[in-house]
Amino acid sequence: MFENIQAVFFTLLLCAHICKLQAEQSPILTKHINGTLFFTWTTNSMFLLLQRDSIPAKDWIRLNSTEYAVNDFLLWNSIDITVRVSTDPNDDIHLLYNVVPKEEKKEGESVILSWSIPYFPKSGGYTIFHMEKRIADFRRIIEFSSGNTSKTDRSKYRYISQSDNSTNISFEIKNISLEDAGYYTSGPSTGEVVNGYYLIVVGNPSTPNITGIFNVPVGDTCKPTCSSTSTSSPDYYNKLVKLSYKWFVNGTDVQNSDRDMRFSERCRNMSFTVTKNHRYNQYSCEAIEKNLVSKRSDPVQINALYEPGILSINPKPTLKNGKLTVKEGETIGPYSCSADCNPACEIKWIYKDIGDNVYDATSKGHQLSIQMVNRSISLLQCIAIYVDETKDRKNHNISLDVQYLDNPVVSVNDKNGALNHPVEIKEAEKLRLSCYVNGNPVPDITFKKEDGDSRILQSTSGEWLNYATSAKCSDIGTYKCRGESTGFNNTEKMFGINVTYVPQVPRNFTGYSYASGYINLTWVSGFDGGKVQHFILSVKDQFRWQEVANLSDPGQGRVVHYESGRLNAGQKYWYQLKSCNIINCSKKSPEITITAKAEPRLSVLLDKTFVIGASSAVVILILTIVFVLIILKRKTALNRQDNQQDGAEIADQPDVVLYAAVDKSAFQKNQNKADVVAEAVPEKKDETDTLYAVVEKKTTTEANPSAIKKESEQKNKSKKERQEGATAAEATGASGTSRNVNQDGLIYIDVDFAKKHENPDKNEKPKIHEWLLNGADWRPNADGKCKFQSLSNWTPEPLFLLMNIAYM
């Protein structure tokens, strides 16, 4: 036993020495990660030649890289690689790589793994690692500390090197399981591992599964497949394993029989021609890996099928040009389908769409229910299934001609248009209108502009209608695309177009200097081009132009104001203005030149101060006069109101005819007659007679004349006493009882004309203008009395008397 271990150590040392020499002599480096071996070099290659074990390489591999990966290196003992880096074969680089040692064991067995290391550290720790699946999954299984083993599961691992610090690493793994498979290596840390060993744990393949089509028509070929997987570990190894298979018919190995059967490589697939008798056979298989045999699969049975006879549909559809014509949304059916099959066929109804996709139709066994048709249905199909539901062997088709007419789909410059959301386009840009109307039969399409200059733009027969022009202002409006087809109502789609363009140049751009060093500019906003605009104001002094303001737009036709800051007094300034929106800017307005006002002289300021003071004094005087007039007017209004109240007391007496008696005896010395302004007064033969103004108050009740007389006499008594001093000196010839009541109860009022006009013209005649009683007209009668003339629609009001007597 000890001699065998020494032989193994010697072999490992020799391999390590050879690998070291190879690494020193060849510029090709190697590393292996998760079952993949990587070869790397420094110069880009042109070609590569790879030989595994003693199998000759087939041909050079074209490769422009500095790396090459071999995924199945664990299946080989050595790999010979030659890299051609130039056209000269003498420049080829070469490496013979002996694969890392590997050991294959079954579950439950034990194994001894050994390899050599360059040195064993005298201080610090040293660890044997187990890398399971990924390169980062290092698991510590044996740890050394100062030459002594520690942290070792002795029931699982046994370290068997002669000394704990030997450079020949050797240990035993007991009772191997699938979890023990992987790569074993050692080193002071995971970043300093050197050399190692692969442990492969092989197991029986999984129980196979037979797949394929087992419902096969007589005369067809049946190709069952036996599938299994390797259970060996690690995972990256079992993916490389290729299993072999063995087939059984009714429990008998048919691999070497004379039956009419054919097998693929490693017998994974079997094929044979189906006959009626095959339906009685049972087929099974086994999988094999390195003499390890899986359990036998479950048996399968081939079902030989007979083709059905002719299918028939009742009632027979009425076809036109081989198709059943129907409008979308209408219904068809029911139909019944029957077929002669052996074994008995399953009858199924399906329908296909225009994309040849298959869907189940609503049916009850062989009978198709009433179906509502849409355009996606291209045909109905009755199927007699005798293999499986994935293959339709016998069928009877009813092709459909589904007619329809869709609403138009429009686009404006590749944008959908809607009436409430017009599509905007810049002026002079390309305007592309497209309309798509899907229909069967092919529809007629018309493009029309609705408002403004209403016109038909274009029409055609087909699914697409395209119209292109250069956008202009007249293109703004609503458009309509209409689809027409025989047997359908017309379909329409409306959309709007809004043409936007550069804004207008601002109008009436003017300015002036209103104070020393200050300038005021104004202009009128124009059309904004369909987008929000703003104004850019530029100024130039003696040196250069520069933008001084960016002003918002108050709206088309509105006046915009700009006031400058303080400028140099007496200096000229040039201004330009333009309007801009997101599309572009307008042309610049004509330049205007303004000279900023200079500082005023002191004498001018003094004159202005004087003018302002004088103006203030005049204003104060005017306000004072107005105030006095207002007070006088209010007093006059109060007096008039008192007089109106006195007259109102008399007006309360109903159904009384009143007279106003005018005594003119004091003024008859002058023989001239009076001029009547409103209406002439007739002459009286008796110049001493009295004028009367008669007032008739019409009411429904009788008044007591004596009561009115007494009241009038009482009110006039006080007035008469006040006038006695003035009238006593006058020789009027009037009776002392001028206020009397006649037999009709009329009251006489004496009017004394003692006061003469200040006009020096003694021959001037008095003019009686007009007498008003409660707004009614008093005019002279034939007897010289002022008779009350009733106005239309007059109602009794408080009594008051207005006498307007003037001397002209």
Q: Give one DSSP letter per residue of 295-320, joined into a string.
A: PPPPPEE-EEEB-----EEESPP--B
Does one domain contain both 779 and 664? yes
Does one domain contain both 295 and 239? yes
CA–CA gap between residue 482 and residue 439 (Å, rounded): 12
CATH code of the domain in which 333 resides:
2.60.40.10
Q: Which of 60-69, 374-383, 767-776 comes out lowest in average pLDDT?
A: 767-776
Name 150's bridge partners.
143
Are 35 and 76 spatial neighbours (Cβ–Cβ below 8 Å)?
no
Q: What percent of the chain is predicted at pLDDT more than 90?
A: 12
- Examine residue 452 and state whether it is found in any structural domain, yes or no: yes
> What tokens does 243 get?
């299993």
* Greater model confidence, 197 or 584: 197
| Whether residue 20 has pLDDT greater than 70 | no
CA–CA gap between residue 734 and residue 667 (Å, rounded): 11
Instruction: Please give the tally of structural domains in the chain.
Output: 7
- Examine residue 341 and state whether it is found in any structural domain, yes or no: yes
Average pLDDT over residues 486-505: 81
Number of neighbouring beta carbons within 10 Å of residue 563: 12
Residue-level pLDDT at 604: 53
Going by pLDDT thresholds of 50, 70 and 90, the confidence category of residue 702 is very low
- Examine residue 204 and state whether it is found in any structural domain, yes or no: no
* Domain boundary residue, one of 199, 227, 248: 199
Does one domain contain both 488 and 397? no
What does each C-alpha distance from 174 to 111, 151, 168, 177, 237 come to in angstroms? 7, 17, 20, 9, 21
| Whether residue 441 has pLDDT greater than 50 | yes
* Domain boundary residue, one of 199, 221, 238: 199
| Whether residue 575 has pLDDT greater than 50 | yes
What are the backbone dihedrals phi and psi of residue 638, each rounded to the nearest 5 degrees, phi first? -70, -40
Residue-level pLDDT at 593: 84
Average pLDDT over residues 235-239: 84
| Whether residue 427 has pLDDT greater than 50 | yes
* Greater model confidence, 7 or 508: 508
Average pLDDT over residues 575-595: 80
Does one domain contain both 589 and 526? yes
Number of neighbouring beta carbons within 10 Å of residue 698: 11
- Examine residue 689 and state whether it is found in any structural domain, yes or no: yes
Q: Residue 210: CA atoms inside 13 Å, Cβ hemisphere, count?
A: 27
Residue-level pLDDT at 211: 94
Going by pLDDT thresholds of 50, 70 and 90, the confidence category of residue 722 is very low
Residue-level pLDDT at 452: 67
Residue-level pLDDT at 665: 46
Going by pLDDT thresholds of 50, 70 and 90, the confidence category of residue 529 is low
- Examine residue 716 and state whether it is found in any structural domain, yes or no: yes
Residue-level pLDDT at 210: 94
Indicate the residue type of 251: G
| Helical ranges in 26-133 per DSSP H | none
Q: What is the pLDDT of residues 252-268, one digit of tens each?
A: 988 777 677 888 888 88
Does one domain contain both 667 and 794? yes
| Whether residue 296 has pLDDT greater than 90 | yes
* Greater model confidence, 473 or 228: 228
Q: What is the pLDDT of residues 647-658, one digit of tens each?
A: 555 444 444 444
Q: What is the pLDDT of residues 612-637, one digit of tens each?
A: 888 889 999 999 999 899 998 888 88
Are 60 and 47 spatial neighbours (Cβ–Cβ below 8 Å)?
yes
Residue-level pLDDT at 195: 83
Mean pLDDT of the chain: 75
* Domain boundary residue, one of 281, 305, 329: 305
Residue-level pLDDT at 1: 40
* Greater model confidence, 736 or 283: 283
CA–CA gap between residue 571 and residue 230 (Å, rounded): 101
Indicate the residue type of 249: V
Q: Which of 298-302, 443-447, 698-702 comes out lowest in average pLDDT?
A: 698-702
Average pLDDT over residues 409-433: 76
Going by pLDDT thresholds of 50, 70 and 90, the confidence category of residue 533 is confident
| Whether residue 75 has pLDDT greater than 80 | yes
Are 517 and 596 spatial neighbours (Cβ–Cβ below 8 Å)?
yes
Does one domain contain both 130 and 32? yes
Does one domain contain both 568 and 591? yes
* Residue whose C-alpha is closest to residue 272's, from 280, 281, 257, 260: 260
How much of the chain is helix, strand and coil, in % rounded to 5? 15, 40, 40
Residue-level pLDDT at 134: 58
| Domain assignment of residue 562, given as a range | 507-595
Q: What percent of the chain is predicted at pLDDT more than 70?
A: 71
* Greater model confidence, 234 or 720: 234
Are 673 and 691 spatial neighbours (Cβ–Cβ below 8 Å)?
no
Does one domain contain both 365 and 268? no
- Examine residue 659 and state whether it is found in any structural domain, yes or no: yes
Average pLDDT over residues 715-737: 43
Residue-level pLDDT at 687: 42
Average pLDDT over residues 102-109: 89
Does one domain contain both 690 and 780? yes
Q: Which long-range contacts (CB under 8 A, 24 or more apart) does 317-326 make?
A: 317/398, 319/399, 320/401, 321/401, 322/399, 323/399, 323/400, 323/401, 324/398, 324/399, 324/400, 324/401, 325/401, 325/403, 326/373, 326/400, 326/401, 326/402, 326/403
What does each C-alpha distance from 636 to 630, 644, 673, 808 come to in angstroms? 10, 12, 34, 25
> What tokens does 250 get?
């009714």
CA–CA gap between residue 666 and residue 533 (Å, rounded): 88
Q: Which of 131-135, 174-178, 458-462 comes out lowest in average pLDDT?
A: 131-135
- Examine residue 463 and state whether it is found in any structural domain, yes or no: yes
Does one domain contain both 473 and 401? no
* Residue whose C-alpha is closest to residue 381's, from 400, 355, 402: 400
Is the preceding peptide bond at 89 cis, omega within 30 degrees of 0?
no
Average pLDDT over residues 203-216: 91
Where does 671-758 show beta strands of DSSP type E? 675-676, 691-696
Residue located via tokens 């201080």:
123
| Whether residue 700 has pLDDT greater than 50 | no
Going by pLDDT thresholds of 50, 70 and 90, the confidence category of residue 283 is very high
Helix (H, G, I), strand (E, B) or coil at 313: strand
Q: What is the pLDDT of residues 375-386, one digit of tens each?
A: 889 889 888 876
Going by pLDDT thresholds of 50, 70 and 90, the confidence category of residue 801 is very low
| Whether residue 543 has pLDDT greater than 50 | yes
Angle of helix 705-728 relative to helix 602-651, nearest 10 degrees, comes to 130
> What tokens does 793 get?
């629609």
Q: Walk across the sheet containing 455-461 and list its strands.
A: 423-426, 491-500, 477-484, 444-449, 455-461
Average pLDDT over residues 733-749: 47
Does one domain contain both 84 and 61? yes
Going by pLDDT thresholds of 50, 70 and 90, the confidence category of residue 600 is low
Does one domain contain both 584 and 632? no
- Examine residue 96 and state whether it is found in any structural domain, yes or no: yes
| Whether residue 605 has pLDDT greater than 60 | no
